[in-house]
Amino acid sequence: MQSLYDIPAPAKLNLFLHITGRRTDGYHLLQSAFMLIDWCDTLHFALRSDGLVSREDLNVRLPADDLNVRAARALQQATGCTQGVHIGVHKSIPAQAGMGGGSSDAASSLLALNRLWNLHLSVQELSVIGLELGADVPFFLSGRHGWVEGIGERITPLPIPSLRWVVVKPDAGLDTKLIFSDPSLKRDSEPATITGFAADAFGKTNFSGFGRNDLQTVAQKLCPGVNQALHWLGGKGLSGRMTGSGSAVFAHLQHDIDVRDAPSAFQVKLCSGLDAHPLLGWANSESKMKV
């Protein structure tokens, strides 16, 4: 089948992540600044007229019912669409890294299929579907860096300079459920403000950091690789921090570094912040259809 769309699905970094409480249904309430970076998966879409959803793993074997397939079927169900798709997935973003790879793929799939199937859903309508797939999906649909609150559904666009970063993913990943179920997890951080974040994090010439990642202490107990990655960054004179709920850590680059001495088990990538999501504008601001 001829590929009709070849599109990127970018990763994100959590510049900080605070847990401010917990809902009665068990979901944790958070505050975070999400930044889009140029570490991307690539998705290929070819239209099928038989209504079936199929997927081809181009470099990494994925679960049969991964988020790309679930996103396509959820969009079919929400709209009554009878068209199908074949999706080719080339993974670059590591799994269990805290970089949102699966959620980003799902968001890019929703945006691509919304256009491929001529559904004309708005970003808001796609986000209703996306939130059922994962808490980070609405952020990737929003198209901009964001101040994220609630369980991930409250997003305020956040201007962030296009900074350079080094991202380090140790060999082992981290299971989000293990971190959030740990009794020692800090769940009572004081609420922060966008103005406070902007003044502290970007009020100087160099990124100075803001807050912390409340999940990091638990992650360091569960995954020695997190400590090893942080130690390696420290040897470069960099102050590292964990992103999201996975095992990847990152640091702001104020000078060039040599990464050739990184342990062979690490994935190390020099990244830059994106100005916006590559698919910004692929969904309408308003829609004639209602989900």
- Give the Cα separation of 268 and 13 in Å (integer): 14
Contact 138, 127 (CB under 8 A): yes
What whole-number distance in Å separates Cα of residue 39 and Cα of residue 102? 13
Q: Is there a catalytic annotation at residue 236?
A: no
Active-site choice (105, 136, 214, 269): 136
CA 262 vs CA 13, 59, 92, 266: distances in Å: 21, 24, 19, 7
AA letter at 87: I
Residue 33, C-beta contacts closer than 8 angstroms, at least 6 positions apart: 14, 15, 16, 145, 146, 147, 148, 158, 160, 197, 201, 210
**12, 91, 169, 269: the active-site residue:** 12
DSSP 213: B
Cα 119 to Cα 136: distance, rounded to the nearest angstrom:
22
Which residue from 122, 64, 46, 71 is spatially nearest to 283, judged by alpha carbons? 122
25 belongs to the catalytic site: no
| Nearest alpha-carbon partner for 17 in 36, 33, 4, 5 | 33
Return the H-helix or E-strand segment holding 114: helix 101-116
Cβ–Cβ under 8 Å, residues 59 and 93: no
- What are the residue numbers of the active site? 12, 136
